Amino acid sequence: MQLLQFLAAVFASLVVVWATDNGLQKIVTWDNGSLIVNGERVIIMSGEFHYQRLPVPELWLDVFQKFKANGMNTISIYFFWSYHSASKGKYDFTTPGKDIQRLFDAAKEAGLYVIARPGPYCNAETNGGGFALWTSDGSGGKYRTSDATYQQVWSEWIAKIGAIIAKNQITNGGPVILAQVENELQETRYDANDTLVLYMEQLKTAFKESGVVVPLTHNEKGFRSKSWSTDYNNVGGAIDVYGLDSYPGGMSCTNLDSGFNMPKTYYQWFHEVSPTQPEYLPEFEGGWFQPWNGYFYDQCMAEQSPEFADVFYKGLVAQRASLINLYMAFGGTNWGHSAAPVVYTSYDYAAPLRETREMRDKLKQYKLLTLFTRVSKGLHNTDMESNGTQNAVDSSAVWTWVLKDRNSDGRFYLAEHNSTNSKAVSDFALTARTSAGDVIIPSLQLAGRQSRWIVTDYAIGNETLLYSSAEVLTYGIFDHPVIVFYVREGQTGEFAFSTQSNITFEAFDTASDIRGISAGNFTSTKYTKFIYTQTKGSTAVRFSNGILAYLLDIPTAWTFFAPSTTPDPNVRPEQQVFVIGPYLVRSASIDGDTVSIIGDNANSISIEVYAGAAKTISWNGFELATETTPYGALIARIAGTEERKISLPALAEFKAADSLPEIAPAYDDSRWVIANKTSTLSPVKPLTLPVLFSSDYKFYTGAKIYRGYFSGSGVVGLNLTVQGGLAAGWSAWLNGKAIGYHPGNASLTLTTTAISFGNATLKEKGNVITVVTDYNGHDQTSTGPAGAENPRGILGAQLLGSANNSSSLLFDHWKIQGNAGGEKNIDSVRGPMNEGGLYGERLGWHLPGFDTSDWEMANPGTEGITGTGIRWFTTTFDLDVDEDLDVPLGIEVGAAGGTVARVLLYVNGYQYGKYLPHIGPQTRFPIPPGIVNMKGKNTLSVVIWSQTEAGAKLSTLRLFEYGKYQSGFRFSKIDGKSLQPGWEDRSGYA
């Protein structure tokens, strides 16, 4: 063993010598096999996480522990400029949800590397693509070019965020190993003077000046261009490690048979574009977003299928990908007004980890690959030996990839259907090349959308698998090696050790049919092969060569965990404990004879632990009655939550008030902003003057309210153009009388309507039009003509005269009101995108502690609102959930068919739901702990904006639980008080 360790150390030093570095440090290097961190190769298995979409910092560790438990060693993180900078020159990195030092600390505590992606542009279906919204008035210059104005504004952001990233680089003891420059910026001209090339050079310089020394990366936007690789037409702007984003699934929420076509061209693409670099996919399909009027994520079963993980994620590794990031691994919530118009409140994304922080089967299936790649060092540096239809197999229905370890005889075969969307059952045999000669492995099967690893000459400690068609999940080195196989129930597994002597075995399950057969021929090494049909559950088998094997079916494999005993993300086989049974294992440690497991569980089950010499299991701090099996594992029973009852209160006892007094002609708007600009920096020009773009008056997010004054009784109508993003609507009143509205359309970002004044009474002077415009975010740069600089609010308002009065009719003046304080960010904890400009929002009615004692009793379900208008409902409710339980909660709403309304849900001051009953699709809104107080008082506001005279009310309004888990996580440590500042007087913003 000492000799092996010495040789490994020598090889590691040679790797460092041969690898490429960026000239700034040598801790993170690379070649075309893999990334090399601290001299050791590592396959990066990463998940995308956006802290802005989960603004409870204590829960970041919860998510990270779930990532780590499922085998990931890295997280990739976007840093949204928009979230941290409410106005020019102002940055917030200290309030709880924006304290990114806590984010890095949590990643390090969980044992995860970090890939930092600070933009300045991110896309990500977030508001404005992540650009600071104060640039949306045109003051940001020409986005994503070398324009000097644009450079001036983004440089400050990169300097600020870059300094924090730099502090947390692995070179300084932190978790950051890579930093991404920009996002999906396509290089279309290979010209050193092209504005995009100059822009990338500016960014690279800015990153370095901020102290970032780890390798820089970028992400190609699909197979659309070939950008920023040092290996391909490098005229400038190239980064260290090229990456390719890919979302190939093409699945449907309504047709489970559609899509599911895995491209077989990744290897060729990287071989052409970045042959000296490891194959990196900065964004690979972890799911897909859903639009307004689309489907809700729970309906999209194809995206959630574990078959997708089994075929697509394995297929990437088989094409030599060694850095894979799932976008998204956890989607979270577009709370407040943080969404771009292309998505609604939920950003669940059908991700492996649900918006509720619950693990989907797709995540459990991903774990079977991540744990395999973690310990399979021969897979970390391979050559593509062969690939193709009927390659090494006897069936034309099967495609096989063959990778060869560059440092041994080891090979990795991946068999998949030639057409990956096939649901056929295909039986086949594979001829595997081994150190003992070719071996024919019969009785292999692909049952529909399935892929299977077959390994040869696979080292497990001092022993070697000659071959195995039973898929290796992982192996560990304890007092002897322990290997874990998995096979679908009813399918055949076969394996052999390279040991020449006869090997005997003992199976500890009478249901198993495992048998040993002598194999080999006169010209090859004799060996014993072991064949079995996988039964339900788990079988332990002890071999005379000292190996212990677990034979698992897929559902049991999903409950297998290998928590590491080291904080290093690059875990070695000897730095693990094996656990079978629970819903989740967060961590494990060994102290003397006790192995301590921290985890979560839903159902009472038996837990099995393999931890070497340990004798007793401790579960979440409680010592269990533990037995030892004949093969050295420990077993005990752990309790579930079947008998733990959660009492959720009915949502009742609401108080209500009018939230649209602004429609009254006499309403006092003397403190409102006068909208009188006659020019704008926006690249989009107004249809009429004055300029009424909300960003020009420093109101960026949420609803805006306009009051336009005009004189004369000869006006017959108004031509109104409003732009609030997809599905956004508006309503208008004249002298207190409703005159028109648009309900919003999921396909239209702006609407133009000719409104008749036929049902209104005009005055010679002092007529007032009140327009309330909704807001669904600023556009990403893919939306023309100007992306995030596409204006919001009123684009044009032209009074219309009668046939006898066709001269140009002008407004006397306009006033505008938006979120309280505009860009002052008066609620810095919840941040600049939480609120809009509705009357109740401006006065802080959504905040805990606001006094509703003088409001009337009314219920959003039984009374609602009569006619057009906006009515605000507030109540409080108490929860008393035990501190050792994780109970994801949500609010469900509904309305009768035909209801045209816009509904906001505020929980303890956070806008955590936007419901459009006439557009959809979302009716269920998860609320995480920390936003909702699991012990104590909560404030709920329901805001109903009725757009028709039919009025609006809710047919459903209730709290519900998604699940219930006994947990060792410290949910009681969530600091709700710091996250939920209470009401202060805001009367100055009326």
Quick: pLDDT tens for 816-835. Answer: 999 999 999 999 999 999 99
CATH T-level assignment (fold) for domain 661-824: Jelly Rolls (2.60.120)
Query: How far apart are the C-alpha atoms of 54 and 333, rounded to whole Å?
Result: 7
The pLDDT confidence band at residue 129, using thresholds 50, 70 and 90, is: very high
Tell me if residue 62 falls in helix, strand or coil: helix
- In this predicted model, what pLDDT tens digit does every residue of 672-682 receive, in sequence order? 999 999 999 99
Residues forming the active site = 184, 283
Determine the pLDDT at residue 16: 44
The pLDDT confidence band at residue 510, using thresholds 50, 70 and 90, is: confident
Q: CB-side exposure of 347: number of CA atoms within 13 Å?
A: 29
- Pull the structure tokens for residue 889: 């909660």
- In this predicted model, what pLDDT tens digit does every residue of 242-269 receive, in sequence order? 999 999 989 999 998 899 999 999 999 9
Per-domain boundaries in the chain: 40-359, 378-582, 661-824, 841-989
- In this predicted model, what pLDDT tens digit does every residue of 417-439 receive, in sequence order? 999 999 999 999 999 999 999 99
798-805 contact pairs (CB < 8 A, 24+): 798/687, 798/688, 798/718, 798/719, 799/710, 799/715, 799/717, 799/718, 800/715, 800/716, 800/717, 800/718, 800/719, 800/754, 801/714, 801/715, 801/716, 802/714, 802/716, 804/714, 805/714
* Maximum pairwise Cα distance, the chain: 110
CATH T-level assignment (fold) for domain 841-989: Jelly Rolls (2.60.120)
Percentage of residues in the chain with pLDDT exceeding 70?
97
Q: What single letter denotes the amino acid at residue 70?
A: N
Query: How far apart are the C-alpha atoms of 528 and 551, rounded to whole Å?
Result: 18
pLDDT at 81 over 80: yes
Q: Quick one: residue 233, left, alpha or beta (phi over 0 = left, psi -120 to 50 = alpha)?
A: left
Residues 6+ apart with CB under 8 A from 237: 187, 196, 197, 198, 199, 200, 201, 204, 228
Query: How far apart are the C-alpha atoms of 453 and 433, rounded to whole Å?
Result: 14
Q: Strand pairing of 113-117 and 176-180?
A: parallel
Q: Strand pairing of 481-486 and 471-477?
A: antiparallel
Query: How far apart are the C-alpha atoms of 680 and 140, rounded to whole Å?
Result: 13
- In this predicted model, what pLDDT tens digit does every residue of 558-593 receive, in sequence order? 999 999 999 999 999 999 999 999 999 999 999 999
The answer, as to whether pTM is greater than 0.85, is yes
CATH T-level assignment (fold) for domain 40-359: TIM Barrel (3.20.20)
- Other C-beta atoms closer than 10 Å to the C-beta of 535 total 17
| DSSP conformational letter for 71 | T
* Residues 725, 778 contacting (CB under 8 angstroms): yes
Judge if 40-359 and 661-824 fold alike in CATH terms. no
Mean of the pLDDT values across residues 490-499?
Answer: 95
**Per-residue burial over 225-234, b = 16 or more CB atoms within 10 Å of its CB, e = otherwise:** ebbbbebbee
Q: What would be the CATH architecture of the domain defined by 378-582?
A: 3-layer Sandwich (2.102)
pLDDT at 475 over 50: yes
pLDDT at 324 over 70: yes
> Where do the H-state alpha helices sit in 168-253?
195-209
| Cα angle 312, 54, 357; round to 5 | 55
Q: Strand pairing of 74-78 and 113-117?
A: parallel
Q: What single letter denotes the amino acid at residue 580?
A: I
